[in-house]
Amino acid sequence: MIYHVLANAIVLAHVAFVLFVILGGLLVVRWRRVAWAHVPAAMWGIVIELAGWECPLTPLENWLWARSGASGYAGGFAEHYLVPVLYPEGLTRELQLALGALALVVNLVIYGAMIRRRT
């Protein structure tokens, strides 16, 4: 039971991190100090996607699912609704590159607009 709860918690954290990588710049517009957390997180997320590396949370999730006795990601809310966002069917290298580029462009636009507004 505890492994199942922990696996769900890691999936939620993983989704939150991905959203923070993509949209965290919007928080920086309101609270500039968030940039100290967002810039390294965004760089990490973008590099993971562009390099085709596996996020360290993925093996942890899989280990917790295996320890919980679950097979795959069938089950509760997190497994049903959030896991497909992180691991879409048909994820190709080209799609991974496009997602990394999208995250980069979104963040460049947000930070560029902030810098332009300050000057």
Every domain of the chain and the residues it spans? 2-118
Region 85-114: what's the mean pLDDT?
A: 87
Least confident segment among 4-8, 11-15, 81-85: 81-85
The pLDDT assigned to 72 comes to: 52
113: region left, alpha or beta (phi > 0 left; psi from -120 to 50 alpha): alpha
Number of H helices and E strands in the chain, helices first, is: 6, 0
Specify the range with the lowest mean pLDDT, choosing from 5-19, 23-37, 83-97.
Answer: 83-97
pLDDT in tens, 35-60: 999 999 999 999 988 898 888 888 88
Q: Which pLDDT score is estimated for 57?
A: 86
Give the burial class of 57: count Cβ atoms within 10 A of its Cβ; 0-12 exposed, 13-18 middle, 19 or more buried: middle
Q: What's the chain's average pLDDT?
A: 85
33: DSSP letter:
G
Pair 40, 25: CB distance under 8 Å? no
Q: Is the pLDDT of residue 74 over 80?
A: no
Whether the pLDDT of residue 99 is over 90: the answer is: no
The pLDDT > 70 percentage for the chain reads: 88
Rounded to 10 degrees, what is the CA torsion of 59, 72, 68, 87? 40
The angle at the Cα of 36, spanning 30 to 37, to the nearest 5 degrees, equals 90
